[in-house]
Amino acid sequence: MKAYRAALLRFADDGSALYDEDGLLVIGPDASGRKVVRAAGAYSALAGNFPGVAVEHLPGRILAPGFIDLHVHFPQTDVIGSPAEGLLPWLENYTFPHESRFADPAYAQGVATVFFDELLRHGVTTALTFATSHPASVNALMEDAQRRGLRLIAGKVLQDRHSPDGVRDETEQSLADSEALIQKWHGTDRLGYAITPRFAPSCSEAQLRGAGELAAKYPDVWIQSHVAENKDEIAWARQLFPASRSYLAVYDDFGLMRERAIYAHCIHFDDEDRSLMRSTGAAAAVSPTSNLFLGSGFFDFAGADRIGFQYGLASDVGGGTSFSPFHTMLAAYYVGREGQTKQGVSLSPQQLWWRHTAGAAQALGLDGVVGNLQPGCEADFIVLNPQAMPLLARKVAHARNLDELLFSLIVLGDDRIVERTVIS
Ligand code: GUN
Ligand code: ZN
């Protein structure tokens, strides 16, 4: 067992933040030998319960749950900042040509290393990740995550049409490859598999049908895709699938909406789409830096809350511009303010932080497993040092309550304040 004494941030079941200015986080094995949080709370209340346990004292630091990135593309690590008129030309001119390089396993391994180094440097300890259409890209990613002991979910991209040579896959083979990867990786150590149709326009009906069959056969495997991101993309999807009520309904029609299905963007929805998200238990990965960079639009937080479907925050690198959860939370705040002019939504700092930690875990069906530091949770955490940035050091000294403190970190913080990332 080991204990850490510092300020401690956790979340209650209702999503509100719990904060101990002088806290104690005790980590040790559970009955099955997994390293978990054994106790978390005020130092004064807990210290006497753990005689003989070594305590590392970290004055001025904040212990917080590792962040969860609900949607990110590891092969787009080097695509960040590629400007385009919109999503479809961005895919065609930058993303597909770049992803074709991942046919080479050595190249994929090299990028996987950089990707995990970046995630961890920014305090992200779990991610739901797209690989490319090449099975070797999944193996490269999973092997690296396994070595580092990370809880990671990833999948081979399915794209058997409207995709150039080099990334296009073949229907039957792509489904067989996906199933083999499920058997190899899903539930191995802390790894999980996600069935990954890139988006409806890049998948034939046969491929979507096969993906839905896999999703039914493996109910605790995740599903990830994109939906309702960009107006041109939506028009294209509607034209390709005229029988479906909406773009989102295409996925439902092929058995791809259920719990553990995470759809990136979900911007241009009507209330029937929102109700479909809610009734199926699917969740949205809100990716504000990507949506602002590609000019895709603004996620409707008020609409999501009014109907009540699940969502969490995501970088969507390389459409997104940063691996930093702080940058993503700030962008989500800006987008919420844009909505506020119409709907009266302004996201609180506690909500923003929850949507990138415990709330994102809930969207994945992993609440109580990651994204929080309550007893029983896997002990992935970060050590934040606000003193690492001069302006932030001044600002936090003026914070009169938890909301002011968290807002200071969200607005001014970045990887410079992530002093340490600890994997359980
Ligand atoms: N839609 C289909 N593929 C992609 C992708 O790689 N990134 C984003 N943002 N949207 C997509
Ligand atoms: Zn994406």
Q: Residue 117, exposed/middle/buried by CB under 10 A (0-12, 13-18, 19+)?
A: middle
The overall average pLDDT reported for the chain is 97
Alpha-carbon distance 1 to 154, whole Å? Answer: 31
Nearest to 192 by CA among 224, 163, 235, 217: 224
| Mutate which of 74, 90, 91, 240 for ligand 1 pocket (most atoms within 8 A of beta carbon) | 91
Which atom of ligand 1 lies closest to the CA of 265?
9
- The enclosing H or E element of 163 equals none
* Residue 335 near ligand 1, beta carbon < 6 Å: no
Instruction: Give buried/exposed letters for 119-143 (b at 16+ CB in 10 A, else e).
Output: bbebbbbbbbbbbbbbbbbbbbbbe
Ligand 1 centroid to residue 371 C-alpha, Å = 25
Spatial CB neighbours of 58, under 8 Å, sequence gap ≥ 6? 4, 5, 6, 383
Task: Using DSSP, state whether 22 is helix, strand or coil.
Answer: strand
Per-residue pLDDT of the chain (424 residues; tens, 9 = 90+): 999 999 999 999 999 999 999 999 999 999 998 999 999 999 999 999 999 999 999 999 999 999 999 999 999 999 999 999 999 999 999 999 999 999 999 999 999 999 999 999 999 999 999 999 999 999 999 999 999 999 999 999 999 999 999 999 999 999 999 999 999 999 999 999 999 999 999 999 999 999 999 999 999 999 999 999 999 999 999 999 999 999 999 999 999 999 999 999 999 999 999 999 999 999 999 999 999 999 999 999 999 999 999 999 999 999 999 999 999 999 999 999 987 666 656 899 999 999 999 999 999 999 999 999 999 999 999 999 999 999 999 999 999 999 999 999 999 999 999 999 999 8
Which fold would CATH assign to domain 2-65+372-422?
Urease, subunit C; domain 1 (2.30.40)
Q: Please give the distance, rounded to the nearest whole angstrom, from the Cα atom of residue 129 to the centre of ligand 1.
A: 12
Query: pLDDT for 214-246, tens place per residue?
Result: 999 999 999 999 999 999 999 999 999 999 999
Spell out which residues have Cβ within 5 A of ligand 2, the ion. 264, 316
Q: CA separation (Å) from 76 to 34, 80, 131, 362, 369?
A: 33, 7, 9, 26, 28
Domain boundaries, given as residue ranges, for the chain:
2-65+372-422, 67-364
Please give the radius of gyration of the chain, using alpha carbons only, rounded to the nearest integer. 21
Q: Please identify, by atom number, the ligand 1 atom nearest to the C-alpha of residue 296.
A: 9
In this structure, the residue with its CA closest to atom 11 of ligand 1 is 226
Atom of ligand 1 minimally distant from the CA of 76? 6
408: its two tokens:
């200071």
State the sign of the Cα–Cα–Cα–Cα dihedral 207, 277, 138, 29.
Answer: negative
SS3 274: helix
Cβ–Cβ < 8 Å for 358, 11: yes
Q: What secondary structure letter does DSSP report for 21?
A: E
Phi, psi of 289 (to 5 degrees): -70, -35
Q: How far is CA 329 from the centre of its chain?
A: 12
How many C-beta atoms lie closer than 10 Å to residue 204's C-beta? Answer: 16
Whether residue 343 contacts residue 329, with contact meaning beta carbons closer than 8 Å, is answered with no
Model-wide pTM > 0.75: yes
CA distance 421 to 292: 28
Our answer on whether the CB atom of 87 is closer than 6 Å to any ligand 1 atom is: yes
Q: Which fold would CATH assign to domain 67-364? A: TIM Barrel (3.20.20)
